[in-house]
Structures are given as structure tokens and as C-alpha cells.
Chains A and B, each alone.
Chain A
Amino acid sequence: MSEERQSGGKTGRGRIRVALAGNPNSGKTTIFNALTGARQHVGNYPGVTVERKEGRFCHGDRTVDVVDLPGTYSLTAYSPEEVVARDVIIEESPDLVVHVIDASNLERNLYLATQLAELSVPLVLVFNMTDVAQARGYEIDIAHLSELLRVPIVQTVGHRREGMEELKQTILDVANDPAGAKPATVHYGADIERELAKIVKLLKSDGGCPSVPGLRWLATKLLENDEVVREELKKQLGDPARVFSQVDASRQHLEREIGDDPEVLIADHRYGYISGACQEAVRSTVESRHTISDRIDFVVTNRVLGLPIFLLMMYLVFKLTFTLAEAPMGWTEALFAWMSKTVAGFWPAGSESALQSMLVDGVIGGVGGVLVFLPVIVLLFLAIAILEDSGYMARAAFLMDRVMHKIGLHGKSFIPMLLGFGCTVPAIMATRTLENRRDRLTTMLVLPLISCGARLPIYALFIPAFFPKRAQAPLLWGIYLIGIVLAVLLAKLLRSTLFRGETAPFVMELPPYRMPTIRSTLTHMWERAWLFLRKAGTVIVAFSVLLWVLTSYPKAPEENVRGLDPQQAASTELSYSVAGRIGHGLEPVMENVGFDWKTTTAMIGAFAAKEIFVAQLGIVHAIGEVDEESLPLREVLRREYTPLQAFCIMLFCLISVPCMVTIATTWRESGSWKWPALQLVGLTVLAYVVTFAVYQIGMLL
């Protein structure tokens, strides 16, 4: 977690702490970047993968720390983002909250402001995108609106950095004198207010409540049936049953009297308050009906054209990512090969030691194994950032919702699935866009079944070695298809057992199309890539060293390798190591799926990365360095295995978990070891069961 994070509110003398709130697509990130420049720090909130961004700027003689809250529409407990946003305000009690508002969409954006006001923290409103608002014909009487809402309002155009100096000055002014920014709160009408008063009275007499953010807020949340607040109070209150029975009675009473859910009534009053204020202070001069966004949407969400355009876009993403990444991946590999050689050269020939082997094969090999993914990840995140910032991503999810809904997933699950054909690691990271945790975990767990690029060398080795030319392409296609079908079936299974419950209803804002700015796109890309490196990287290096130990120790006795050529010696060493012993030990079990100890041993080593499988096969079969084009290896394989065995090996590689990087990423993204463990065990069992069935049935035929 961030070392800058403090438990209390103020960090040192003179420091001002600001939380930046706002709707998604309100230009909040642009304001954050304009305020803090390059001085940013990205991390995750503990337990959830909601990004935490912090930055700082100096103005006059003061330093201001800014924490960028996740973009939310409200402060209910609907999504982790919303819970995180309000927790930061309540627990870290910043000196003030700056709420970024899309001025061209005032009423909807002010809904969040009414909720921020209830947290009784000083508030500054930023009316961003005022140029768009003017173009749409809105005339906003800022002074009047500021008076009505009792908060300072600053107008900005984020991408042109207009209004930033004024915003900085306002932040300082409010920090010095918070009394001027005590926002007005919504009056919920006689009925609701009466019930609120009853609950507040009970909360006060109970005395177990936290002092911030105030009893009125707690009472409102209880009336809205907010489960997170309810759970929290259950722990803190002296007599929760007494309070909750009043809450339930109040909710029932309101439902009976007014005939609607209290949360709907409360929302009504908030909007009533907002529209009252807007009627007084906002004038709309023109009604523009067909915008450019309208026309683009007409084409890209078209029933006939929508899908081909979408497929073309995805093809471009693929092409961009994997074509452009090829060269830098090659350089990374070459760099690490050079480093291995250089480091190995520190030891004079003949004096190779365990330390040398660990540095070269374990550490450098491990770090290289992580960094070689970096070009793909960076480019993929670049593509995603462009798609997201331009507004197309929302349309893609919209288009795919119908299909994905049928298999119990969300429209947004499609993008990770597609990315999975390239590499499972960024695909799992891309599940972040899914709000519902059940949807997200389901997608994450089935993703390894989408055959990734690293498994292609395995198919490329086996298929030409065992099958006639005309069967080769259909077979490859078939293997990919088996993966997809299994992913769909498994998703359905998970949704009806472990993650039972409805798919979150598909409701998604389709933001207006915008030209992504280079600055924000690159910032997005870099933040995510860095997070991957820092968090997943450490785990991966540790695992690499572990796998190195498994495949190198214990050393074979001197007399066993004496007189053998180096290739046979390497094979003997591997056979003698822990991995080799596990391979031997598992032979009785793995025999049933067509594996001998050599394949099993290679499989264990390949847990570092699937493409290593081919190299490991070369070592166990004592052929030395090989790649998937290797003819001698194909010769040996043809001699030792039947085509059925070859197919089963490919099948097992497809279904079992691709690599430790996937496991590490699932751990990072799900926030617990439980899910990667399930993924590892579940997929291994599935691989065994399916391959077992195929092998046994195949043997009968």
C-alpha cells in the first residue's frame, strides 16, 4: 500500500488533503492530471482491485495532497468503487472534497453532489467541460447556483487546462476557511424526515455510532437499506436489534403511506431539489438533437454493421498488440540471454557453481520471463486505453451483451475473453471493467481455457509430427474450439453453483465519442503496466527460483553422469531432480491419460511458462536445445508416442492452468489465494478428467 497514506486526516503541518470525486466520464482524470502533473502514485485499495491514485501539487506556500476517488454515480453500496469512495471520505476525512461535474449534464452529475453534501465535508464543485455545455446551449448562472447550493463553483475546461489556477486558489481558500463551503443538504419531506428523526434519536441514545460522518447520514443509509452500513453498525452498536427494528418499521411505514420503496423516495427528493435549483440558475437556449455521437452510434450499433465493425476493431487490437510487440519481445529475450551469458562468464569454465546456476537460470531467467510479457501488456493497455477514452469500449460491451448474457456472463466479459487468445495475463487484468464480483470471478476463472499464444508452440510441435497434412489445420482449429466450448460450459456451471444469482443488469453509460488525448492515454497505459510489474513481478521471481530448485535439485551422483555426453547428462540430472521424481512418482496416475514420466516432468517445468514445455521435452529426451521446428525431437516423439497420446498431451496443455503468471495475476486481481487455488486445482482436475475420458475411449477404438 502507499507509504503516503496516513491513518488520520491531516498529514503534517500545512499539508492540505483533497479527495477528488465525480461521475465516470466527467473528465475527473483530466482534472487530476492537470492538477498534479507527473507527481502521481498509483496503488490498489486493500482487498479490492480498485485503483488508488494519489498526487500532489504546490500552490502559494501550501502543499496539497490529492487522492483521486474512483468514478461513481452515487455513494450507495452498489459497487466496490462506490464503497471505496465513501470510505475514503469517511475514514480519511480529507480537508475538502472536490467534485468534478460534467457541466453539459448537470442534473445527473449533481445527484452525487447531494450525497457528498450529506457527508458534511467541505465541498467544492468543478463545472468541467463548460465549452461543451455552451455548445449545447446551456447558460449557467454560476453565482446564483453557488448561492443556492452554498458551495464554491469553479468553471474549467480540463483538456485545455482552463480554470486550473482558480481551482487551486479555491482549494486553498476553502482549506483556510471551510465555513464558506458547507453545502446545503436535501430536505426529504415531512414523512421521511419524521422517520429519520426517530432513527437518529435511537442512534444517539445508543451511543455506539462513529462520530463521522454524522447520525443523519447513517440514518439515511439505514432507511435506504444500505447493507454495508447495516453490517458495520451491527458490529458497533450496543443494541443493534432495537435500532434495526425501528428502521424496518420506518421502511414499512413509508412503503405503506407513500407506496414506494424508501430508496426510490429519497432519490426522488434529491432530484426534485436539483431540478429546483437548475430551473432557477440554468437556461437552455437550443435543443440540439442529432449530435456527431448520434451519427456514429447509428453506424457502430447498427444490427447489420455493428458486428463486422466490432470484429474489425478487435482484429486491429490484436494485430497492433501482437505484431508490434514481437520486436521488443525479441529484444527483451536477447537482452536477457546476453545477461545470462555475461553473468555465467564471471565463473571460469569448469568452476560452475550452484550460485551461478541460480542467478542465471533462476533469477535472470525469472525476471526475463516477466519482462518479456511487458511489451504485450503495454501495447494491450495502450489499445484498451484508446478504446476506452474514445468511448468505443462501451459500445463493444453493448453489442456483445446479448450473446454473453446467454452463457450467464456480462457484455463486458467479452473483451477479456478475446484478449485471452493472446495472453491470459492481460486478459485477467482486463476483467477489472466488470462491476459485479460474481461476473468478474467467473470470467477470471474460465479465462485460462481460452488457448493463449504461448500454447501454440506445443501444438506446432505435435500436430505436424503426428498427423497428416490435411488434418492439421482442422485439428488446430478444433483444439481452440474445445477450449471455447469448455469455457462456456464452465462459466454456465459456475454461474449456477458457486456464483449463483442474477447477472448484474446491463446498464451502462455510452459516453459521447471523444478524441483520446495522447497524454491521458499514455498515463493510463503506464499506470497499469507499472502495477503489473511491481505486484505480479515479485511473486513471479519467487516462483521462478522455486521452479529452478525443483528442476535442478537434488543433483545426480557423480558416477551416474560420468562419461555421458552433455545432453544425456542434462536428461539424467532432470530425471534425478525433484521435478523428475514427481514425474516418475505420478507415472501410475498419468499413464491413464497417456503421459509417461518424461512428459509429466516437462509439464512441471512448464508451469513457469507454457512455451517452456517444448524446451523441457528436448531436455528429458536428451536432445538438448530445441524449438517447435525441431526435427530430431519430432522423430523421437514419433518413436515414443502414439497419435492418441500426442492429442492427449495437447488437450492436457490446453485445459490445465497455463502458467504461474496467470495464477499470480488471478491472486492479485481477486485479492485472495482462494480463487487462484480453485483455478489451479479445478482446471487440473478438469484437464485430467477430460483427457482421461478421451484417452480411455480412444484406446478402446
Chain B
Amino acid sequence: MMPLTFLQPDSMARVTAVQGGRGATARLAAMGIYPGVVVTLKRCGAGGPVIVQAGGSRFGIGRGMARRIMVKPVD
């Protein structure tokens, strides 16, 4: 298990936990990022927000938030 930001770009991982704090977790869930979902990290520079693909949608997620999304890489 590791933070989303540790993934290699263009690699896929399953979300295991979202340690988002009140509101943010539910918000992410409503947008389709919740434990069990497979996401693809599309872009992750040295700083600033990352781009994540989940289902058919793509999201920009602030780095602070992205660090709190725990994932497990899948092949």
C-alpha cells in the first residue's frame, strides 16, 4: 500500500483507502474514487496537482489530497 503520488505515470492501481478527512472522502466517492476502484495515474509532476483516470472520467486532484489516497499497484 502506498500513496497515489508514488505510482509511476501511466500505471494502474486499486484504491485501498481514502484518508481524506470529513467531506473530502465523501466528495471523492461521489466523483468515483473510492476503495476498490482501479485508477490510472495519468500525470504526476514533481509538484502540483496530479491527473487520475477512474472509470470513464479524468480528474485533477491537488497534491495534498492525492497523497492521502492509498493505493495498491495492479498489473
Contact = CB atoms under 8 A, between A and B. Distances in A.
Interface of A: 73-74, 76, 78, 102, 104-105, 107-108, 111-112, 136, 224-225, 261, 263-264, 267-268, 271, 293-294, 297, 301, 303, 394-395, 397-398, 401-402, 405, 411, 505-512
A593 to B, nearest CB: 41
A286 B14 CA distance: 21
A297 B51 contact: yes
Contacts of A401: 48-49, 60, 62
A505 B21 CA distance: 11
B9 to A, nearest CB: 11
8 contacts: A78-B23, A78-B27, A105-B57, A264-B26, A297-B42, A505-B27, A507-B28, A507-B59
Interface of B: 18, 20, 22-32, 34-37, 42-43, 45, 47-49, 51, 54-65
Main secondary structure of the interface of B (DSSP, over half): mixed
Nearest to B26: A263
A111 B47 CA distance: 31
Given A78-B26, A268-B36, A506-B60, 4 more contacts: A264-B29, A267-B26, A505-B24, A509-B31
Nearest to A107: B55
A267 B36 CA distance: 12
Contacts of A267: 26, 29-30, 34
A512 B20 CA distance: 26
B58 A293 contact: yes
B71 to A, nearest CB: 16
Of A112, A510, A512, chain B has the most CB atoms within 10 Å of the CB of: A510
Of A74, A136, A401, A505, chain B has the most CB atoms within 10 Å of the CB of: A505
A338 B16 CA distance: 70
A509 B65 contact: no
Contacts of A512: 58
A105 B55 contact: yes
A49 B47 CA distance: 33
A402 B35 contact: no
B25 A261 contact: yes
Contact of B26 (A74, A136, A293, A510): A74
Given A297-B51, A301-B43, A402-B49, A509 B28 contact: no
B32 to A, nearest CB: 4
Contacts of B32: 105, 107-108, 111
B51 A398 contact: yes
Contacts of A73: 27, 30-31
Contact of B22 (A111, A225, A395, A405): A225
Contacts of B63: 402
Given A224-B26, A261-B25, A506 B61 contact: yes
Contact of B56 (A74, A108, A405, A508): A108
Contacts of B37: 271
B65 A505 contact: yes
A112 B45 CA distance: 32
Contacts of A411: 49, 60, 62
Nearest to B53: A294
Contacts of A271: 29, 34, 36-37
Contacts of B27: 73-74, 76, 78, 505, 507
A294 B42 CA distance: 9
B55 A297 contact: no
A76 B31 CA distance: 12
A74 B30 contact: yes
B62 A394 contact: no
A601 B44 CA distance: 56
B30 A405 contact: no
A231 to B, nearest CB: 16
Nearest to A298: B43
B56 A136 contact: yes
A297 B58 contact: yes
Of B20, B43, B45, B57, chain A has the most CB atoms within 10 Å of the CB of: B57
A76 B59 contact: no
B25 A264 contact: yes
A264 B35 CA distance: 9
The 4 A-B residue pairs with the shortest CB-CB distance, nearest first, are A506-B62, A402-B48, A74-B30, A108-B32
Given A105-B55, A303-B45, A402-B49, A507 B60 contact: yes
A78 B56 CA distance: 23
A267 B20 CA distance: 14
Nearest to A112: B30
A508 B43 CA distance: 14
A108 to B, nearest CB: 4
A661 to B, nearest CB: 33
A296 to B, nearest CB: 11
Contacts of B42: 294, 297
A48 B66 CA distance: 30
Nearest to A402: B48
Contacts of A294: 42
A132 to B, nearest CB: 9
B48 A108 contact: no
A394 to B, nearest CB: 7
A688 B65 CA distance: 41
A390 B56 CA distance: 17
B59 A505 contact: no
Contacts of B47: 402
A87 B4 CA distance: 36
Contacts of B31: 73, 108, 507, 509
Contacts of B49: 398, 401-402, 411, 506
A411 B62 CA distance: 9
A505 B64 contact: yes
Nearest to B46: A303
Contacts of B18: 264
Contacts of A108: 31-32, 54-57
A111 B30 contact: yes
Contact of A301 (B35, B51, B55): B51
B65 A506 contact: yes
Nearest to A275: B36
A204 to B, nearest CB: 27
A74 B24 CA distance: 13
Given A108-B55, A225-B22, A398 B45 contact: no
A505 B58 contact: no
Contact of A398 (B28, B34, B60): B60
A509 B26 contact: no
Of B25, B43, B56, B57, chain A has the most CB atoms within 10 Å of the CB of: B56
B27 to A, nearest CB: 5
Contact of B65 (A263, A297, A394, A507): A507
A398 B48 CA distance: 8
Given A108-B31, A402-B49, A506-B49, A397 B60 contact: yes
Contacts of B35: 264, 268
Contacts of A112: 30
B30 A76 contact: yes
Contacts of B58: 293, 297, 509-512
B34 A268 contact: yes
